[in-house]
Amino acid sequence: MQLLLPILVLLAFSGITLSRVKEVHNVLELTGQRASRLRFSTDVAKGKYTPPEEMDPQFWYNIADEEIAKRLQLPQLSTKKAKNVIMFLGDGMPISSVTAARILKGQRQNKTGEESLLSFESFPYSGLSRTYCSNAQVPDSACTATAYLCGVKTNIINLGVSAAVNFNNCTASQDPANRLTSIAEWSQNAGKSTGIVTTTTLTHASPSGAYAKSANRMWECDTDVTSYGVDASTCIDMATQLVTQTPGKNFEVMFGGGMGKFLPKTIKDSHGKAGERSDGVNLLSRWQGLHDKGVMVTNRKQLLNLDVSSASSIIGVFQSGLMDLHMDADATYQPTLSELTEVAIKKLSQNDNGYFVFIEGGLIDIANHYTQAGYALDELLEFEKAIQLARDITDIEDTLIVVTADHGHAVSIAGYPGRGTPILGVNHHDADINGVKYSVLNYAAGPNQYLDESGQRIPLEDILGPDNAITPSYIPTEIGVHSGEDVGIWASGPQSHLFTGVMQQHTIPHLMAYASCVGSGKKVCGN
């Protein structure tokens, strides 16, 4: 690192010639050939984008002092128990999206952005989670949910069953030896309240990891099971599992979309669409029958008017399918993730034994699949607001908050854009070998390469303006793809110091169980 300063000074006072860049990189012991591929924009190198206060080394020494002081105040290996555990899951949220969202957050406040910080980034402990699944280098949301909720790595597409089960094998998924339990069930057995909150459907892969046992994540309702050639009376669909089986039937909070999976085709749901079930069962009536004082809500107004103290449990189904992306949603009709989080915590905090709740920002993944970075980052900022709210309304002395992602997405922040370059825009400081500028964010695979008829890249200035623009990608595919690098973990509250280092994803629920004294493994209370 010491070499960098003289190099930057050198660049700042010279028009950069290729030979100079080569010379500089030879100092860094790069080969001549590699060096010739590295170019910096003269503007950026000349300091045109440098905030003046940052030219003073003291600026950086002060930040370092603060960071040291913060770390010296950390509770060292506290023996405190976590009465409550809140797990926040950003679906398909790679570190690159976290960084980009942080920049967007700052830029929405008219700052350059890079210096900004997301709520969970100020949590005292963080680490990395290794996301591969038993049969997959790059995972899906089902095998990862099984890892971070049931504590076992399994095969891709499996939910709540071990890797002895193969895709769509009903028989294997029925074998008790292959069926797993989740931290939601462990928490219920310890007398705690439990709940799930998602912006996808209640039967989507991530929240289902808390209650479902299924050899195919697509078995959301009986019609889905049948469509995969499986007998729906033997292999029970996930919506039915949620309403009628342990631990789902004991959830005191269930918020999300996916109302259609609970209703027969002959009935219109509260959002005007027909149900999806072929067995004629109205699972929402069934749920009501099982919970005298249970309350069902289907829109924001009903949610916010709810009296949480008189409801024994609450089911909220706010759309027929996935909930709407925050930027597109009717804000008077669909609650935000923060509003869902607030009501969920209020309800679950009524139990003196504490609670476990799983809260998912599920549309980060969906928007990344669309390769619409604007939507993905907006969803990520909604997610970080909900985390801030959760930290604000809970006691840091008794509530552990763990934030992580299930897997990444193949999005990169590439090139050498200057400080403060709009994160969703074009990098004006670099161009490809034909002189065409490129965007700051790019996906490895996706629907839009933005090439002209001769296969040349086209300028993006007029394309990347709107928030819903499709971000360029390199490999033509229908939708964007997951990525296999590690994801982050951020933790705050009792036992948060456990969440450091590089860990296997399936270790996460065991650490949360240790901290909250649930399950059959080691517990902080037993020590």
Ligand X SMILES: *[C@@H]1O[C@H](CO)[C@@H](O)[C@H](O)[C@H]1NC(C)=O
Does 278 belong to an annotated binding site? no
User: How many residues lie near ligand X (CB under 6 A)?
Assistant: 7
Q: Which of 14, 79, 171, 449 binds ligand X (CB under 6 A)?
A: 171
Does 482 belong to an annotated binding site? yes
Contacts of residue 315, defined as CB under 8 A and 6 or more positions apart, other chains included, come to: 254, 255, 284, 287, 294, 295, 296, 297
Q: Which helix (H) or strand (E) holds 437?
A: strand 437-439
**By the 8 A CB rule, do 447 and 473 touch?**
yes
The one-letter code for the residue type at 153 is K
Q: Which residue from 207, 290, 219, 222 is spatially nearest to 255, judged by alpha carbons?
A: 207
Binding string, residues 88-107; x marks residues near Zn ion by CB under 5 A: ----x---------------
Contacts of residue 119, defined as CB under 8 A and 6 or more positions apart, other chains included, come to: 384, 385, 387, 388, 391
Cα–Cα dist 66/278, whole Å: 60
Three-class DSSP category at 323: coil
Q: Which stretch binds ligand X (CB under 6 A): 170-178, 265-273, 397-405, 485-493?
A: 170-178
**Which residue is closest to Zn ion by CB?**
365
Does 429 belong to an annotated binding site? no
CB of 172 to ligand X, least distance (A): 3
CB of 164 to ligand X, least distance (A): 7
169 vs 208, beta carbon nearer ligand X: 169
Strands 441-446 and 193-201: unpaired
Residues marked active site are found at 141
110 vs 520, beta carbon nearer ligand X: 110
109 vs 310, beta carbon nearer ligand X: 109
**By the 8 A CB rule, do 478 and 120 touch?**
no
Q: Which helix (H) or strand (E) holds 490?
A: strand 487-492
Q: Which of 65, 67, 175, 467 binds ligand X (CB under 6 A)?
A: 175
230 vs 329, beta carbon nearer ligand X: 230
Q: Which of 42, 135, 166, 412 binds ligand X (CB under 6 A)?
A: 166
Strands 473-476 and 441-446: parallel
Does 91 belong to an annotated binding site? yes
Q: What are phi and psi of 54, to 5 degrees?
A: -80, -5
Three-class DSSP category at 170: helix
Q: Which of 365, 379, 384, 430 binds Zn ion (CB under 5 A)?
A: 365
Q: Which residues are annotated as a binding site?
A: 91, 204, 206, 360, 365, 369, 406-407, 482
Residue ranges in contact with ligand X by CB under 6 A? 109-110, 166, 169, 171-172, 175
Residue ranges in contact with Zn ion by CB under 5 A? 92, 365
Q: Which residues are annotated as a binding site for Zn(2+)?
A: 91, 365, 369, 406-407, 482
